[in-house]
Structure 1
Amino acid sequence: MELAPELSDETITGADLQSERIESVQYARVTFIDVDFTDATVLACTFTDCTFRRCEFAGSTHRNSAYLGCQFTGCGFFAASYDGCKLTGSRIKSSRLRQVKVRSGAWDFMTLHNVTLDGCSLRDVRMTESDLTGLKARGVQLRDVDLTSAVLADADLREADLRGSIVYSIDPAETLLGGAIVTAQQAIVLAANLGLDVRAD
């Protein structure tokens, strides 16, 4: 199936887009239901206020694309990759992200309530003011991630690699951090967040 270059206020159901190259499309308020994006390549596309229900993104590649204010419900993301993408204001729920790779991009103001990140890697990603309540990210690579003003209550970051990330918003009293990898400077920040009086001497 070939997608139209521009579309708004429509519903696409059951489309097979496996291995398709989707480039420079502009979609607004489009609902995708049971659409198969397996191994698709999405380049320089913009989806605004779109809804994705039970869609499959396994093995898909997304580059320099934007998903602004979108809703993802019950979707599969196994081994998907995002490079330089913007997901500002989007919400992912009832979905599991397995072995997803994210390289650079803006994921600000996102909502990932109780989402599981399994074997994922996020590097150089901005997640300022995102709601990550209950996020399950044990052992995940979160390198150089901007977590400024992010909400991480009840999140599980045990054994996660947090080096280079901004961790001022992480409260060790509310977030599981056992075995997490941090730098000495980050350790000082986290200790201060616990209420310790950290001094050089």
Structure 2
Amino acid sequence: MFQYIDQHYVEVNYNGKDLKFGELIRCTFERCTFTNGSLEEITTSNCRFIECDFSGAYLNGSIHTESAFVNCIFVDTNLFVAKFDNCKMTGSDFSNAQMDGITIFQGDWSYTNLRHTRLVKQDLKGVRFYEADLSNTNLEKADLRDCDLTRTILAHAKLHGTDLRGANLDGVDFKSINVSGARMDRDQAVHFLRSFGAKVEGD
């Protein structure tokens, strides 16, 4: 086990390195690469990762608290049972990432690419997904209450049993999604009907 505190790294190559069980506190990594690295059960706290590449890395069981991963690449990354607590993930790409059992507690996931990911039964209350791409994502029985889904792409997402109550759905293209079986509040239902040209009593 290792511990780094208040360190700053720029363009360092950690590809394939064994970094398991490490602890990072208030560290900054800019344009560093961690491809195919072993970062299982690593913990980060108040760290910043800017334009870093985690493609093919193992981050399963890792815990991240109030850390930022801005414009990072998580293509084919193993995030099984990883936990992100109040983290900023804006602009990051999670294509083909293994996200089963992941825990996402609040935080900012705006502009992320989460296409085709599996988030079944996940508690995502209050997470900010502003303009994120959640197309073809499996969100069945997920809790999205009070999320910011402004202009989020939800085309062909699976929403059966998904709780959307209180979520901001401004700018969502309802014509591209199937809300059958989803839970919505009255205002959302009215917005949905209006998007299809219905005249709601009181209009």
TM-score, normalised relative to structure 2: 0.89
Q: 1:8 is matched with which residue?
A: 10
Higher strand share: 1
Asked if structure 2 preserves the Cα contact closer than 8 Å seen for 1:122 and 1:145, the reply is yes
Q: 1:185 is matched with which residue?
A: 187
Q: Where does the alignment leave 5 or more consecutive residues of structure 1 unmatched?
A: none
The superposition leaves residues 169-197 of structure 1 with CA deviations (integer Å, 9 ceiling, x where unpaired) of 33333112221112222222222222221
Counterparts of 1:79-94 in structure 2, within 5 Å, are: 79-94=81-96
Q: Where does the alignment leave 5 or more consecutive residues of structure 2 unmatched?
A: none
Q: CA deviation at 1:83?
A: 1.4
Q: CA deviation at 1:84?
A: 1.3
Q: CA deviation at 1:3?
A: 6.7
**Which amino acid counterpart does residue 55 of structure 1 have in structure 2?**
A
Asked if structure 2 preserves the Cα contact closer than 8 Å seen for 1:167 and 1:190, the reply is no
Q: Give the count of matched residue pairs.
A: 201
Q: 2:71 is matched with which residue?
A: 69
Q: Secondary structure at the match of 1:118?
A: coil
The superposition leaves residues 103-122 of structure 1 with CA deviations (integer Å, 9 ceiling, x where unpaired) of 22111111222222233221
**Which amino acid counterpart does residue 83 of structure 2 have in structure 1?**
S
Inter-CA distance 18–58: structure 2 relative to 1 (3 Å threshold): same
Q: CA deviation at 1:14?
A: 2.5
Matches of 2:58 and 2:81 in 1, distance apart? 11
Task: Report the aligned-residue RMSD.
Answer: 2.0
1:130 matched to 2:132? The reply is yes
Q: Secondary structure at the match of 1:7?
A: strand
Matches of 2:38 and 2:185 in 1, distance apart? 41
Matches of 2:57 and 2:123 in 1, distance apart? 21
1:166 matched to 2:168? The reply is yes
Asked if structure 1 preserves the Cα contact closer than 8 Å seen for 2:63 and 2:83, the reply is yes
